[in-house]
Amino acid sequence: MKHKLKSKLLLLAFICTTHAAYNQVQIGNDIIGEEYGGFFSTDLSSDGSILAIGRHAGDSIVGKSLVYKLENNDWQLMGKPIEYEENGTSSECSVNLSANGNRLVTGIPYYTRPDSLRYGLVRVYEFVDDDWTQIGQDLSGSLNGEFGIKVLISEDGNRIVVLERNYRPNSTEFGGRVQVFDIVDDEWIQVGSDIVSSEFIWDVAFSTDGNQLVFYGSVTMLFYSLSNTNEWEEQATFLEPKGSARGLSFSNDGTSLISFDRSNPRRELQVYSNENGWGPKGSRIAIDSVWHSQAVFLNSDGSKIAMTAYNVIKDTITNTIVTVNNYCYIYEYINNDWEQNFLFKSTENELLTRDIISVSDNGVIAVAYGLSGKSLVKVFDLSDFISSNSYITEEESPLYPNPTYGILYIQENSNTNEVTIYDPSGRLIRSQLIKNGEIDITDLNSGTYFLQVGTNIQRIIKE
């Protein structure tokens, strides 16, 4: 399904088998949210030309969904904003687009009906005659169940998945519920029975063919598949460390899945594979608590992971943000375990908002930032970065020899006189001048380092 393909392409945008120069180009104008009305969810069409935003409203602000189309390098509204009548104090909006961007599923988990009761609301729209037209009927859940806290739609727009995080079938029972629907004759018909858990469900994902589901409960992760009798059958259950901030992503071939727990103080990754039944693939990956992990993506065959993260440097007197260092890490499955490789670091003065990252199939990425009480979405084109011309081969590498015993030489055509050195976790070791075309790292311990010369980052092995 389309959202899995997008995860794959983000990974392709970030993976380098040799060494890569990071050169992002912003597409179109910034999209700025209203005061105190931040963005809760974003999604991109497969070609990156259509962007959906679900607004995370508060106080008396009415939640809405907005869809933009890139025209003449400018993001223009595609149809009218989709607004929802809301009588309560919050109206978060989850969104997901079909592959071509012409179908949109929206989830309003705190939607309040005219009788002042909250049952949540899910609607699906199709772009027809230059505006968004609802297809099928409204869907709603249980009272205060947060129905629609996450919604997913298939590539063709004919199947949706709805998460109800706090399902309440009666006054004494509560837990989580996942439902799947197909559109048949302009009506959403449920596929299989409800998948109900006695725990809150924090996240849900489904495979490319739409026949596999996995969700995170409070302490368990459960795998389901659609049987020949059109029922969801449990395939595997794993106990997971308790935490309220979860993330799930299937590989494109449906044989691997990554789970991500970024709850504080635990930040961990675990990959599972389906080889004669679901089971862990490699060791659990612990993330340095210094970094705030953002999002993880698994490539098409489940052999590589990309993770974005950031750390914040604040003024010690005013406690204001001075610098935000954004990182991307790569993990590769080698010799039956995960090996970490640092890829790039960029410094910004804005903070990446948690979770709100979307990527198209052709390497377009949308990111949402927090910005002084407002929200900001920027879209970048990484297609040059994922092209073969963006990679630096060993012959083109500006630094040699590699491995080295301590003295590196730089190509004569380089016009940079400074090098920055990082350890594999992305921590800055130092910056130093390049003297007479030489870089001296003899004082460093043996191991792997990343040296940045201009926009090029090269992995160096010090023996």
The reported pLDDT for the residue numbered 346 is: 58
Mean pLDDT score of the chain: 76
Nearest residue to 29 via CA among 64, 3, 68? 68
Helix and strand tally (H, E) in the chain? Answer: 2, 40
Higher model confidence: residue 100 or residue 320? 100
- Least confidently predicted of 212-226, 280-294, 324-338: 280-294
Contact 219, 176 (CB under 8 A): no
Mean pLDDT of 84-92: 57
- Least confidently predicted of 45-49, 252-256, 385-389, 429-433: 385-389
CA dist 3 and 250 (Å) reads: 9
Q: Which helix (H) or strand (E) holds 9?
A: helix 2-14
The reported pLDDT for the residue numbered 21 is: 34
Core vs surface per residue 202-238: b (16+ CB within 10 A) or e? bbbbbbbebbbbbbbbbebbbbbbbeeeeebeeeeeb
Residue 116, both tokens: 């002042």
What are the phi and psi torsion angles at 387 (to 5°)?
Answer: -80, 160
Segment of 78-87, 114-123, 181-190 carrying the highest mean pLDDT = 181-190
Contact 250, 273 (CB under 8 A): no
CA dist 193 and 5 (Å) reads: 27
Q: What fold is seen in the domain 2-391?
A: Methylamine Dehydrogenase; Chain H (2.130.10)
Segment of 1-15, 123-137, 364-378 carrying the highest mean pLDDT = 123-137
The reported pLDDT for the residue numbered 182 is: 96
**Locate tokens 């197909």: which residue?**
182
Mean pLDDT of 204-225: 84
Residue 209, both tokens: 């063919």
The reported pLDDT for the residue numbered 390 is: 35
Alpha carbon 356 to chain centroid, angstroms:
7
Nearest residue to 106 via CA among 134, 74, 128, 86? 134
Q: What fold is seen in the domain 399-462?
A: Immunoglobulin-like (2.60.40)
Alpha-carbon distances, residue 403 vs 25, 357, 425, 431, 463 (angstroms): 33, 36, 19, 20, 7
- Least confidently predicted of 34-38, 194-198, 420-424: 34-38
Mean pLDDT of 441-455: 84
The reported pLDDT for the residue numbered 424 is: 66
- Least confidently predicted of 264-268, 335-339, 396-400: 264-268
CA dist 124 and 108 (Å) reads: 12
What predicted TM-score, i.e. pTM, was given to this entire model? 0.74
CA dist 128 and 102 (Å) reads: 8
What pLDDT digit, counting tens, does each position of 228-267 carry? Answer: 999 999 998 887 655 545 677 777 677 888 887 665 555 6
Mean pLDDT of 427-435: 84
Alpha carbon 134 to chain centroid, angstroms:
27
Residue 38, both tokens: 């931040």
The reported pLDDT for the residue numbered 106 is: 94
Domain boundaries, the chain: 2-391, 399-462
Segments of 33-78 assigned E as strands = 38-44, 50-58, 64-71, 74-77
**pLDDT band at 396; cut points 50, 70, 90:** low
The reported pLDDT for the residue numbered 353 is: 42
Q: Give the largest CA-CA distance in the chain.
A: 77
For 396-435, what is the HEC assignment?
Answer: CCCEECCCECCEEEECCCCCCCEEEEECCCCCEEEEEECE
Regarding beta strands 203-206 and 391-392, do their DSSP bridges make them parallel or antiparallel, or are they unpaired? unpaired
Mean pLDDT of 26-37: 71
The reported pLDDT for the residue numbered 22 is: 39
Q: Say what percent of the chain tops pLDDT 90.
A: 25
Question: Which sign does the torsion angle of CA 222, 225, 227, 230 carry?
Answer: positive
The reported pLDDT for the residue numbered 158 is: 93
What pLDDT digit, counting tens, does each position of 104-160 carry? Answer: 999 988 887 778 888 889 999 999 999 999 999 999 999 889 999 999 998 889 999
Nearest residue to 438 via CA among 410, 418, 403? 410
